[in-house]
Structure 1
Amino acid sequence: MRAGALVSRLGALVVILGVVGLLPWLSGRDPALSILRARSAEQEPTKEALDTIRRELGLGSGPLRALGDWLGGVVRGDLGRSWVDGAEVLPSVLSGLAVSLTLMGAALVVTLVLTVALCTPTLVRGALGTLRGSTSTGGPAAALAALPEFLLATLLLLILSVWLGWFPPYGWRGPQHLVLPALALGIPAGGILGRLVDDALPAVFEERWVGLWRSSGCTPGVIARAALRRAMPPLLPQFGLVAVALTGGAVAVETVFAVPGIGRTALGSAEAQDLPLLQGSVLALVLLGVVAGVIIEVARRRMLGPGLRDAALSLPARMTGDAGRLNRLVPAISAVLLAVVIGWGLLLEPLHLDTTARLAAPSWNHPLGTDSLGRDVLARVGHGAVPTLGAAVLVCVCSFVIAMVLGFLPGITTGAAETINAVPPVIAGILVAAAVGPGTAGASIAVAAVGWPALAAHAAALVQETRAAMHLSAQRAIGSSPFWILTRHVLPAVAGPVARHAVLRLPGFALAIAALGFLGLGAQPPKPEWGLMLAESLPYVERAPWAALAPTVLLLLLAALAVSLSTLPVKPRSSLPAVPKVASDV
């Protein structure tokens, strides 16, 4: 299994670097012309000037030769020189990586504090034996996870820096510059992890060993610590994926706060087609993902103990009884509001310009106000739901199918997932846009290409744990066929939790597509896409906040609907739940 994970990591690394190395040629543009424009916008692109650049950089030998020369330099510890300014790439990559790792550490502190805050009520009630039905943190956690990082960064900048003057708005010159970017990155990540941990704990407290320990006189503190240890092994890969995403996925936040991190460096080098700098940046991100994955795997194996080095026992599918009237109303209200707003907006014209009503406040004629060009915001959010939500649902379904297939190959899936997860959606968006051009389809392909690792890692962990369950050993002993075990035990134990995880990440997929639109890699003007709407409205957010709040509120409603659907009652099909080995190890 270790060999398979190593091979998958190396294979994914080769594929990623190969695609990055072909970027200038995939775009269909002359790399020499792009480099000339990056070096000097005033210089005429004469044949002599372009030929000089080709000879200088060896572009005439073709993409494979250029990629081979770069890989040979990497083996020697030389990442080459920038095609734009001639500076060595390695110092720039190390500088950007140091900034991003510092920002990741600060954001991770915010993430863990928020995760603890969200799951503590469930942990306390479960340890005391007062946990009944579904938990109450799903809605707040989903709302936090659905906040667009780029919008949250802008709001924090506006409120805490411009209005209150508590923190500096831009730059990277001291600890005070860490606060706002760390909050913008850590709050959504804390919502995701808090929801996952909070969702896993009720299933743990329903296991028989908890009642046995409680009747034996164990204190709530002991039971709480044991429950955390029982729930954490399947979730540790998610913590690693989120930690790496805080580094590579911070491009929009780094752009808002002018933070010279590795993500912003990669974006700038891709726009300038500075291939050596882009390759060095992506290599650093991928290696970071591999290192984080190894650390997480070591921690997970230590938590499992010597008896379960290669697998753990599965968490039973979460069973929720009568969730209460409020929990039943949340999805209904969210769905109705989404349907009303989108349906009403679809009846209006999203491209009609009224320059006399620019940035108009909400009124009867314009229920959600107008944008900077006088276009009706309600009409634009209604028509923008089709490319945003439709693409997100399609990406969610594709990611779930990929995860379920690759989950049964955990040795290969783990390494590939760690490596691909280190590539931010923005970088994937750049690569796809270079090949097919910017647009909603390209953004969807980019998000789908890097959106499956978290689900695949979850599925692989559950498959490993389910296969180690004692009741499956008993089924094999009595002669049950592999197909029977797969369809009656393994698939039901894996498909339900992964499906709920996929639904929970639906707002995140919508946000990723919106983020690509925000950075100009998704839908192009004048199309009404939610991310593009946010990008167009941010310069006027202080004067006309409704233009930015409208798509944000719809994303929050989508998050509330997603988390409600992810907690629907599930009846496990296996009649013999696994007895947790961890109960005797703790």
Structure 2
Amino acid sequence: MRPAAAGTTRLLCLAGVVTAVGLLPWLSGRNPALTVLRARSAEQEPTREALDAVRRDLGLGAGPLHLLGDWAGGLLRGDLGTSWVSHTEVGPSVAAGLQVSLGLMGAALAVALLPAAALVAPVLVRGRGSAGAGAAMLAAVPEFLLATVALLVCGVWLGWLPTSGWQGPEHLVLPAVALGVPAGGLLGRLVADALPAVLDERWVELWRGAGVSRARVAWAALRRVVPPLVPQFGMAAVGLTGGAVAVETVFAVPGIGRTALGAAKSQDLPLLQGSVLALLLLGLVAGVAAAFTRRALLGPALRDASLTLPTARPVRTHPAIPLTLFTLLAVTIGWGLLRDPYAVHTTARLAAPSWAHPLGTDGLGRDVLARLGHGAASTVGTATAVCLLSLLVALALGFLPGVAAGAADIANALPPVIVGILVAAAAGPGTGGAALAVALISWPPLAAHAAALVQEVRSSGFLTAQRALGAPRSWILTRHVLPSVAAPVARHALLRLPGIALALASLGFLGLGAQPPAPEWGLLLDESRAYVERAPWAALAPAVALALLAGLAVSGAAYAQGRAAYDQGRRTVASAVRKEAPVGI
């Protein structure tokens, strides 16, 4: 029943997403008629008659079912509609943007192979070790942050490569690097962390004893590692669709992500519908391709087997690393909270760092340190609320693993940026919309953790005894199951807090989250791009802060995992000692 429930939930969630896309003109809480009127003629007065004429032209007067039916009917005929702003067919614009994005993603995957190979090769040569915390941090760096740093260093300061446009191969390099390096770090980390456990398996020892060459053993170990990890590779490919939106925006690449973002901001909803469907289709195709690739790699003999990897060794890190990063961030934020983030000093515009302004000033003369501190406070507060909501959803869905699995598949196929674009189109950009977008897709890892713990607790011996004694189900749930599940999942949610803050910052960077003059980190980075050549410190301050936040997320999670593994080992040894000890001891 569980696979059937998961499949049904998956189809229902997919239908819900497609329906939401089709109903965007009706769901929009903004005034698309006013936006379209201003886009068509900035000089025309927005009178009631003019707005009513635009609504009739766009078909906004019809009900939701009529709008959805017309859109679905056109979709079945291959007609994505006509742009509200440019009066051109949406289909060719989506196809052109999709072609550019596919080329960029292909180049990014080629770039990703380089850091992935660099992380995996030492493990194959030594036969032990793992990718380490450095690879984890590389995978955690947001694409928009890496793109901004690459543009600043390689494009502006050094002048090696062009910083915008799509005219030739040289314009592809920086976007592909910004998009491919984090993906390569993730792929390399997955393989390198799983290899040591595989190289410790019995068959490797037998092959080496039989004189099989090291290269052949390494190739066989990779063949053993890759199939169970292919679904994770598919998730990395899905992540490229979300990262492409930010990278295309930074480098002004005319891809499907930038097209979708521009359509959301201009309320060109037909173009937005077609672009989001194309991005969703890319994510679903990546998932299906991953499933078929896994079947092909396993072959007929193991195709129906539940092939899993041995438990990967946790990445160990010294507790001083997260403590140092946390101290740096805390001191910077605390210092900034003591200053005024909104005070404008026109005479001190783009001032260099000094004692009066330790991190310089922005284009309006506002203190960067103050805005950094106050932006962190609001971002962390919003991320905490999102964490709490995700925790509650995960605890509820942990008792419905079949339903949660199907919904999680669709949530995983939607990067935060895509959901943020949809929410912004319906409700307008803002902190609340960004928080909702991140919350909608941040619960699957927590729900999977909760479901595993629920299954473990329910199968324990003491609960069997409780049922035999006639304990009611509600008493068992509230006194045993929930306390055993809630605490570990809450710690897991706390470790995801920096990652959620980074997701909120990415939406702010794209203009989908907090709006000016709010001092939000992603928004600070976006605002500083206009004068990055004259005042690079205004961009470096939020960039370094976001990098420290990513490092804190990775090192904190690594330390927690290592500590948990250490405690589990101590409990196992203590249990073995108790079993072997004489009765009189």
Superposition TM-score, scaled by structure 2 size: 0.81
* Counterparts of residues 224-303 of structure 1 (less than 5 Å): 224-303=218-297
| Residue of 512, 516, 519 corresponding to 1:525 | 516
Structure 1 residue 102: Cα displacement: 0.9
Structure 1 residue 217: Cα displacement: 4.8
- The alignment status of 1:137 with 2:138, answered yes or no, reads no
* Distance in structure 2 (CA, Å) of the matches to 1:426 and 1:55: 31
Find the counterpart in structure 1 of residue 544 from structure 2. Answer: 553
Q: Contact (CA 8 Å) 2:345, 2:365: kept in 1 or not?
A: yes
* Distance in structure 1 (CA, Å) of the matches to 2:178 and 2:496: 18
Matched residue type, 1:343: G
Structure 1 residue 535: Cα displacement: 1.4
Matched residue type, 2:271: L
**Matched residue count:** 553
* Counterparts of residues 411-490 of structure 1 (less than 5 Å): 416-452=407-443
3-state SS, counterpart of residue 252 of structure 1: helix
Matched residue type, 1:85: S
Q: Contact (CA 8 Å) 1:399, 1:451: kept in 2 or not?
A: yes
Structure 1 residue 433: Cα displacement: 3.5
* Distance in structure 2 (CA, Å) of the matches to 1:281 and 1:3: 31
Say if 1:199 and 1:177 are closer, same or farther in 2 by CA, change over 3 A: same
Find the counterpart in structure 1 of residue 178 from structure 2. Answer: 184
Find the counterpart in structure 2 of residue 515 from structure 1. Answer: 506
Find the counterpart in structure 2 of residue 339 from structure 1. Answer: 330
* Distance in structure 2 (CA, Å) of the matches to 1:49 and 1:362: 51
- The alignment status of 1:60 with 2:61, answered yes or no, reads yes
Find the counterpart in structure 2 of residue 46 from structure 1. Answer: 47
Find the counterpart in structure 1 of residue 120 from structure 2. Answer: 119
* Distance in structure 2 (CA, Å) of the matches to 1:115 and 1:272: 39
3-state SS, counterpart of residue 418 of structure 2: helix
Instruction: Considering Cα pairs closer than 8 Å and 6+ residues apart, tell me whether 1 or 2 has the greater RCO.
Output: 1
Say if 1:309 and 1:287 are closer, same or farther in 2 by CA, change over 3 A: same
* Distance in structure 1 (CA, Å) of the matches to 2:499 and 2:351: 30
Say if 1:73 and 1:238 are closer, same or farther in 2 by CA, change over 3 A: same
Q: Contact (CA 8 Å) 1:148, 1:552: kept in 2 or not?
A: no
- The alignment status of 1:26 with 2:27, answered yes or no, reads yes
Structure 1 residue 210: Cα displacement: 4.9
3-state SS, counterpart of residue 254 of structure 2: coil
Percentage identity across paired residues of the two chains: 63
Q: Contact (CA 8 Å) 1:396, 1:503: kept in 2 or not?
A: yes
Q: What are the Cα deviations for residues 107-143 of structure 1, in whole angstroms up to 9, with x where unaligned? A: 1111222122123323332x2x5x4xxx4631x3244
Find the counterpart in structure 2 of residue 313 from structure 1. Answer: 308
* Distance in structure 2 (CA, Å) of the matches to 1:163 and 1:73: 49
Say if 1:26 and 1:231 are closer, same or farther in 2 by CA, change over 3 A: same
- The alignment status of 1:368 with 2:359, answered yes or no, reads yes
Structure 1 residue 272: Cα displacement: 2.6
Structure 1 residue 307: Cα displacement: 4.2
Stretches of structure 2 lacking an aligned partner (at least 5 in a row):
468-472, 574-585
* Distance in structure 2 (CA, Å) of the matches to 1:411 and 1:301: 23
3-state SS, counterpart of residue 178 of structure 1: helix
- The alignment status of 1:377 with 2:368, answered yes or no, reads yes
* Distance in structure 2 (CA, Å) of the matches to 1:3 and 1:296: 21
* Counterparts of residues 161-176 of structure 1 (less than 5 Å): 161-176=155-170
* Counterparts of residues 90-129 of structure 1 (less than 5 Å): 90-125=91-126, 127=127, 129=128
Structure 1 residue 189: Cα displacement: 2.4
Say if 1:192 and 1:3 are closer, same or farther in 2 by CA, change over 3 A: same
Find the counterpart in structure 2 of residue 83 from structure 1. Answer: 84
Find the counterpart in structure 1 of residue 583 from structure 2. Answer: none
* Distance in structure 1 (CA, Å) of the matches to 2:497 and 2:184: 16
Q: Contact (CA 8 Å) 1:387, 1:440: kept in 2 or not?
A: no
* Distance in structure 1 (CA, Å) of the matches to 2:39 and 2:337: 42
* Distance in structure 2 (CA, Å) of the matches to 1:408 and 1:239: 28
Structure 1 residue 281: Cα displacement: 1.5
Say if 1:5 and 1:113 are closer, same or farther in 2 by CA, change over 3 A: farther
* Distance in structure 2 (CA, Å) of the matches to 1:169 and 1:42: 34
Q: What are the Cα deviations for residues 142-172 of structure 1, in whole angstroms up to 9, with x where unaligned? A: 4433444334323333443445444333222
* Distance in structure 2 (CA, Å) of the matches to 1:40 and 1:69: 27
Structure 1 residue 564: Cα displacement: 2.0
Say if 1:208 and 1:238 are closer, same or farther in 2 by CA, change over 3 A: same
* Distance in structure 2 (CA, Å) of the matches to 1:11 and 1:124: 47
Find the counterpart in structure 2 of residue 582 from structure 1. Answer: none
Say if 1:58 and 1:554 are closer, same or farther in 2 by CA, change over 3 A: closer
Q: Contact (CA 8 Å) 2:175, 2:251: kept in 1 or not?
A: yes
* Distance in structure 1 (CA, Å) of the matches to 2:184 and 2:385: 25
Superposition TM-score, scaled by structure 1 size: 0.81
* Distance in structure 2 (CA, Å) of the matches to 1:105 and 1:404: 38
Structure 1 residue 220: Cα displacement: 3.8
Q: Contact (CA 8 Å) 2:164, 2:171: kept in 1 or not?
A: yes
Matched residue type, 2:38: R
Say if 1:328 and 1:423 are closer, same or farther in 2 by CA, change over 3 A: closer
Q: Contact (CA 8 Å) 2:25, 2:60: kept in 1 or not?
A: no
Range that drifts further, 5-14 or 332-341: 5-14
Structure 1 residue 386: Cα displacement: 1.7
Q: What are the Cα deviations for residues 215-250 of structure 1, in whole angstroms up to 9, with x where unaligned? A: 555544344334434443443222212212213432
Say if 1:509 and 1:492 are closer, same or farther in 2 by CA, change over 3 A: same
Say if 1:458 and 1:99 are closer, same or farther in 2 by CA, change over 3 A: farther
Q: Contact (CA 8 Å) 1:319, 1:570: kept in 2 or not?
A: no
3-state SS, counterpart of residue 224 of structure 1: helix
Q: Contact (CA 8 Å) 1:160, 1:167: kept in 2 or not?
A: yes
Q: Contact (CA 8 Å) 2:30, 2:427: kept in 1 or not?
A: no
Matched residue type, 1:318: R
Structure 1 residue 421: Cα displacement: 3.8
Q: What are the Cα deviations for residues 365-415 of structure 1, in whole angstroms up to 9, with x where unaligned? A: 332222222222222222221222343455456557756876887766565
Q: Contact (CA 8 Å) 1:518, 1:535: kept in 2 or not?
A: yes
Range that drifts further, 530-539 or 143-152: 143-152
Say if 1:566 and 1:234 are closer, same or farther in 2 by CA, change over 3 A: farther
Stretches of structure 1 lacking an aligned partner (at least 5 in a row):
468-472, 577-586
Matched residue type, 2:308: L
* Distance in structure 2 (CA, Å) of the matches to 1:373 and 1:358: 5
Say if 1:549 and 1:314 are closer, same or farther in 2 by CA, change over 3 A: same
Q: What are the Cα deviations for residues 473-516 of structure 1, in whole angstroms up to 9, with x where unaligned? A: 9x9xx99x9x99xxx9xx999x98x9999778655433321121
Say if 1:198 and 1:507 are closer, same or farther in 2 by CA, change over 3 A: farther
| Residue of 378, 388, 391 corresponding to 1:387 | 378
* Distance in structure 1 (CA, Å) of the matches to 2:259 and 2:376: 32
Structure 1 residue 104: Cα displacement: 0.7
* Distance in structure 2 (CA, Å) of the matches to 1:295 and 1:2: 20
Say if 1:556 and 1:257 are closer, same or farther in 2 by CA, change over 3 A: closer
3-state SS, counterpart of residue 567 of structure 1: helix
